[in-house]
Amino acid sequence: MEVKKLGVGNTTSSITKHFVLARLHSLAGLIPLGLFLIEHFYTNATAILGADTYNRQIAFLHNIPFVLLIEIFFIAIPLIFHAVYGMYLTFISRNNTLTYSYRRNWLFFFQRITGIVTLIFVVYHIWALRISNAISGTEVSFQVVSEHLQNPWIFAFYVVGIIATTYHFANGISTGLITWGITIGKASQKMSSRICLGVFILMTVIGIMTLFAFV
């Protein structure tokens, strides 16, 4: 009897741990990372208004007090947790797209695929335009980004990366609203799906327009 109770206790503890981590994973993607993504898209979109506008926006961000601490605790740590636990969920979750043609299964399938693509894209982006420039002592500017995107393969990679990122974010909002019990009924879920589709399209268009602004 004691062995059975211990087994039930371990199972309950495991379920509770997974529940908490899943909620934290969702929260990290929606709030700190979601807000940062919107800000990042806005900052880069200033390039559409010209090099001077973009450079002023970059200078403004760099002059924010405690910017390094903000980047570490509100961007880097949530990003690492969201990425690591997201990859864990990707490899343990089952998907029924080949068995059932339900729309939600396909959305979940693409959420996993875009999560992997987004992670690769973000790691490359951080290395190419942040870490490597910091090592060489080069400040990020319109010219630096423009030169980086002159390579057609890199430009194409950024297009794919932006599409993957915006889909992952928009669909993440839709599933997050369900996860947190905000959209419970079918009508509210359908409405949120349409709104999130609009978010995906809008952010994708802005992101690609921004890329062309640099070249």
pLDDT of 7 over the 60 cut: no
Number of domains in the chain: 1
Q: Is 18 part of any known ligand binding site?
A: no
| CA nearest neighbour of 68 among 125, 134, 141, 129 | 134
pLDDT surpassing 80 at residue 58: yes
Model confidence pLDDT, tens digit, residues 34-43: 999 999 999 9
Given a contact cutoff of 8 angstroms between Cβ atoms, the answer to whether 184 and 139 are in contact is no
pTM of the model: 0.89
Output the domain CATH number for residue 83. 1.20.1300.10
pLDDT at 178 over 80: yes
CB-facing half-sphere around the CA of 174: CA atoms within 13 A: 25
Q: What is the mean pLDDT of residues 20-25?
A: 92
In this predicted structure, the answer to whether residue 100 has a pLDDT above a threshold of 90 is: no
Residue 174 has a CB neighbour count (10 Å cut-off) of 22
Give residue 43's domain range.
2-214
Q: Is 25 annotated as a binding residue?
A: no
Q: What is the DSSP letter of 49?
A: G
145-168 pLDDT, tens digit per residue, is: 999 999 999 999 999 999 999 999
Task: Name the residue with tokens 């001077």.
Answer: 52
pLDDT at 8: 58
Instruction: Identify which of 68, 70, 81 has the alpha carbon closest to the alpha carbon of residue 27.
Output: 81
